Amino acid sequence: MTTAPADLPLPAGVRRGEDHGADAVLVDTPAARAVLHLDGAHLTSWAPAGTTDVLWLSPDSAFGHGAAIRGGVPLVGPWFGPGRHGDQEIKHGWLRNVRWTLERAEAAGEDVVLHLVSPADRTELSARLVVRIGAELSLDLTLTAGTALEVEAALHTYLAVSDVRRVRIEGLGGAEYLDNTRGLAADVLPAGDLVLTGSTDRVVDRAGEVRIVDEGAGRTIVSSPRGTARTVVWNPWTELAAGMADVPDDSWPGFLCLEPAVAKDAAVDLAAGDSLTIGVTYTVLG
C-alpha cells in the first residue's frame, strides 16, 4: 500500500524506511532522532540530541497494518476507550488502526515538520497530524467531521521514566478527576505533587502545563497542551501489566502515560465541516 508519493521531496535528515518490518519515516538530524510509523501515524521514538529516548516502546509490541502499537504516541479518536456509551468495539477509535499518508515534509530551522492525513475513504471524519521534531516535540491533531459527530480525542503519550514509583508529577494538585479504576468515580487529587502508588487511570480536570520530575533519569519532561480539556494519567502497575500480552511483566515501572485529552464529559459535538484540534509540546530539561 502506498504511504507517500514516490517523488515526495524530503528534507535533509529525513528518509523513508522500515522499523520493526513496517513502513516508517526516519528522522536523524543534528537536533533529534525520531521514528514515525505510517500505520496509525504513530510516533514511536523521539530523542533530542544528547539524550536518551523520551518515549517508551514495548519490546513486545505488534507492528504493521491494523496493529495497535504499544508505546510511543498512539492517536486516540474519534472516541476514547469504548466510547461515551461503552458500545464501541474498537478501543480508543480507529485513528491508530489505519494507514496514513505522508502528505508533506519540510525543514523549519533545525526542526523537521511532518504533515500526515488519514485515509480518504473514512468519510465520516478526516484527520490531519502535524509533527514538529527537534529539540522539542510538538504534535497537533485536527479532526474534521464529515457528518454530525460527538468526538473524543487524545494523544496517549508513553513517557520513558527511570521508575514510575519515584517520579513526581507537578501541575495536577487539587484538581477534580474521574477514577477509571473505580468505575469513573469522582474524586479530588490532594494538593501538591502527585506520586503514583498503584494502578492508576485518572481523567483529570486540568488542561495546563504538567511537569514530570524524574530525578533518577536526571531530567524533567514538560508537557504543554493546547486545545484540550483533560489530562489522563495512566500506568497499569503489576497486576494489570501481567494480563497485557504486549507489555513484559517487569516493564511497567519504565513508563508513565500522560495524555492531553478531550474525553468523557468533555467530548465535543461537531457539525458537518467543523473541526477540533488538540496538541501538545514536550520539552526536556536537565
Give the list of residues 6+ apart from residue 207 with CB closer than 8 angstroms, or none: 225, 228, 229, 230, 231, 260
Catalytic residue, chosen from 37, 42, 92, 156, is 156
Distance CA 262, CA 276 (A): 9
SS3 77: coil
Q: What DSSP character marks residue 96?
A: G
Rg (alpha carbons) of the chain, rounded to whole number: 18
Distance CA 113, CA 111 (A): 7
Contact 164, 235 (CB under 8 A): yes
Distance CA 155, CA 260 (A): 6
The verdict on whether 259 is a catalytic residue reads: yes
Catalytic residue, chosen from 42, 92, 152, 259, is 259
C-alpha cell of 161?
521514566
Distance CA 194, CA 196 (A): 6
Distance CA 161, CA 31 (A): 21
**Active-site residues: which are they?**
156, 259
